Chain A
Amino acid sequence: MTYNLFIYIIIAVAAVLAVTAGKMLTSAIMLAVASIALSLLLFNFNAPWAAVFELSVCAGLITVLFISAVSLVKKEDESLKESRGKFLLLPFLAAAAFIVFSITLTPWFETLSGHVKYPAGEFKVGEIIWKHRATDLLGQLTILAAAVFVIKSVFAKRSEQ
């Protein structure tokens, strides 16, 4: 429980920082941190496939796409001047929405319990990643390599200009 609570706090803090950060690059990195924490939580909730997909898509891929897009933004536009304090309200609004939905949508989630479900402890993290999703690791490596060269080509040109 303490472990889960610790992850909840990391997710909340990273999410708030992602919204309020002045620099877009910081926002993208904070979003990645929130995603990694969420995927750890999903592993703990015995949803290994969802966790692996969260790790692949949100933590790996979306971050690379965001960083590539940020590399196109001009340096002077990078630091946002407007106040982002008002966005601090967002997490509270999201929490309120979550409470309302969890009451109204619980019956719907219960109907899903008939769907595919793995028994507790059937799969281990390493087993899922290495045995079942090994090719995704090659995909991750490809994306990381692509990101390095995107930054090398687009960032290098921007700093020349």
Chain B
Amino acid sequence: MTTELLSYSIIPLLSALAIPFLGRTNRKISEIIANVTLLAGLANLAYIIFHPMNRNSDYAVFSFDGLTITMLFTIYMVALCCVFFASASHMVKAEKNAFYPLIMISVSAMSSMVLARDYFTLYIFMEALAVTSFSLIAGEEGKGGIEGAIKYILLTFPASALILIGIAIMLMSGGTINFDMINSSPSTGNLAALAFITLGFAIKAGLFPFHFWTPDAYQGAPSAVSAYLAGVVTKISGIYALVKICMTIRLFGEPAKPVAFALLLAGVLTLIFGAIAALMQKDMKRMLAFSSISQMGYIAAGAATLTPVGIIGAILHIFNHATFKTSLFLNSAAIEKSAGTTDMRKMGGLEKNMPYTSWTSIIALFSTAGVPPLSGFWSKLLIIVALWVSGFKLAAVLALVFSILTLAYFMMMQKKVFFGKPREELKDVREASAYMLAPAFLMSLIIVLSGIFFPYVFEFLGKTL
């Protein structure tokens, strides 16, 4: 494990253990501790990334790569937005002294996954994350959450079994599970092991045809939790590891091609299926869930090209997906609180009453669809270019076509929810409070800035990858 950054996984864990004691008499204290811990972590990470001394020395002080620090930043950013929204909106009905610690433990588990330097450590923290996710999904009243949680946990077992088989093959054939040592020993045994691990993480990432748990989980969970799960949790527990594996099998040369091709095929099918399914949804949260599945397809396809451009594109798309999907889910939560529903058939003309929510939604959906110069455009461009250059021209064309379809279904969503004549029963709906809007504003700002300053972002990742 990268020990320089270990505090990013230990401090949230300690904070989780402290919350029930310190917040026993006053629940407000639980919220404050959770928010302050995440804000401090995010400020620290921003200091590491932006401090001129670190930049000039190419981050030589820290033995991490661009992927690690970008993922840590993403985890803290999304977690802070969701926790802040949950405490401002009072929409989470679960016991606060269990809800906030569970979020903090999942932040700790995700950070540890990112800092892990061998497959078994990665696996252990992935399971810790699965336990917390399960409880967060099941935490709300109603059947949807429980159904989503059960589907999630049932899929966890075969995925874990495949990953463990992979680790066993690794230990038997080469005697090591360390990332660096496997990178330098491209044997057939290690490749077979990585193929098993890839399949396991593809299940966890919700790639087609293992996607069926995601819509139920996102729809059934409380809205702030859906944003958290869709924004970062499922990305780190599944797709992050896939990108990491692609970075390893890239070094294996020709024998790795079949594994990468299988992943690419799954990625392309996922992006097609997710977009078509999203087009047919009537519920806003469910549409966002299918859109999220579709975006996973882009990331998997980009990473599976095994080219540096494709992998950087995939990493950037994980970051971008975290920004725009968190923003969209939090907006859907704000609408749910104000209008009392997420069914798009019962909405219309909300722009007049909720202008800020509408505008932040537009920025996020344009970024999802890849409209320049927003950040989503650049990552999709890198992925499509990588697909084209690697010879997967049909896949590149499909990625482009379904990007346009993404814009189509999101414009339909925007039209149904915000545009048109205001409905009579929704005329008293009021804009969300400034506190509830703050996370979506922050995300919109990041989407715009990382789009405009894309060359610097690319340089940062390219240098440290």
* Residue from the list B125, B172, B175 in contact with A139, Cβ < 8 A: B125
Is A142's beta carbon under 8 Å from chain B?
yes
User: Contacts A116-B171, A149-B105 hold; do A142 and B95 have CB atoms under 8 A apart?
Assistant: no
Evaluate contact between B13 and A142: CB separation under 8 angstroms: yes
Write out, one digit per residue, whether chain A residues 110-129 have a CB within 8 A of any chain B CB (1) or not (0).
00100110000000000000
Evaluate contact between B132 and A49: CB separation under 8 angstroms: no
Contacts of A72 in B (CB 8 A): 138, 146, 149-150
Is B139's beta carbon under 8 Å from chain A?
yes
Min Cβ gap B410→A in Å is 34
Nearest chain A residue, comparing its CB with the CB of B121: A135
Is A103's beta carbon under 8 Å from chain B?
no
Evaluate contact between A154 and B124: CB separation under 8 angstroms: no
Contact-size category for B: 35 or more
Contacts of B9 in A (CB 8 A): 138
Nearest chain B residue, comparing its CB with the CB of A56: B124
Contact-size category for A: 20 to 34
Is A90's beta carbon under 8 Å from chain B?
no
Min Cβ gap B146→A in Å is 7
Evaluate contact between B172 and A149: CB separation under 8 angstroms: no
Query: Which A52-92 residues sit within 8 Å CB-CB of chain B?
Result: 53, 56-57, 61, 64-65, 68-69, 72
User: Contacts A72-B150, A154-B135 hold; do A149 and B120 have CB atoms under 8 A apart?
Assistant: no
Nearest chain A residue, comparing its CB with the CB of B9: A138
Is A145's beta carbon under 8 Å from chain B?
yes
Is A102's beta carbon under 8 Å from chain B?
no
Contacts of A57 in B (CB 8 A): 124, 127, 164
Query: Which A121-161 residues sit within 8 Å CB-CB of chain B?
Result: 133, 135-136, 138-143, 145-147, 149-150, 152-154, 156-157
Is B390's beta carbon under 8 Å from chain A?
no
Evaluate contact between A139 and B121: CB separation under 8 angstroms: yes
Evaluate contact between B102 and A149: CB separation under 8 angstroms: yes
Number of A-B residue pairs, CB cutoff 8 Å, is 109
Evaluate contact between A146 and B105: CB separation under 8 angstroms: yes
Interface centre among A64, A116, A133, A139 (most CB of B within 10 A): A139
Rounded to whole angstroms, the CA-CA distance of A157 and B150 in the bound complex is: 17
Contacts of B94 in A (CB 8 A): 153, 157
Min Cβ gap B16→A in Å is 6
Contacts of B13 in A (CB 8 A): 138, 141-142, 145
Evaluate contact between B135 and A146: CB separation under 8 angstroms: yes
Min Cβ gap A139→B in Å is 4
Rounded to whole angstroms, the CA-CA distance of A33 and B105 in the bound complex is: 26
Query: Which B418-443 residues sit within 8 Å CB-CB of chain A?
Result: none
Rounded to whole angstroms, the CA-CA distance of A136 and B177 in the bound complex is: 13
Contacts of B220 in A (CB 8 A): none
Rounded to whole angstroms, the CA-CA distance of A102 and B132 in the bound complex is: 40
Evaluate contact between B95 and A153: CB separation under 8 angstroms: yes
Evaluate contact between A146 and B149: CB separation under 8 angstroms: no
Evaluate contact between A143 and B127: CB separation under 8 angstroms: yes
Evaluate contact between A139 and B95: CB separation under 8 angstroms: no
Min Cβ gap A141→B in Å is 7
Give chain B's interface residues, CB within 8 Å of chain A. Answer: 1, 9-10, 13, 16-17, 20, 94-95, 97-99, 101-102, 105-106, 108-109, 112, 116, 120-121, 124-125, 127-128, 130-132, 134-135, 138-139, 146, 149-150, 153, 156, 164, 167, 171-175
Q: List 30 A-B contacts (CB under 8 A).
A: A53-B167, A57-B127, A61-B127, A61-B128, A65-B127, A65-B130, A68-B131, A68-B134, A72-B138, A115-B173, A116-B172, A116-B174, A116-B175, A135-B121, A136-B124, A139-B124, A139-B127, A142-B108, A143-B127, A146-B102, A146-B106, A146-B109, A146-B128, A146-B132, A147-B131, A150-B132, A152-B20, A153-B102, A154-B135, A154-B139
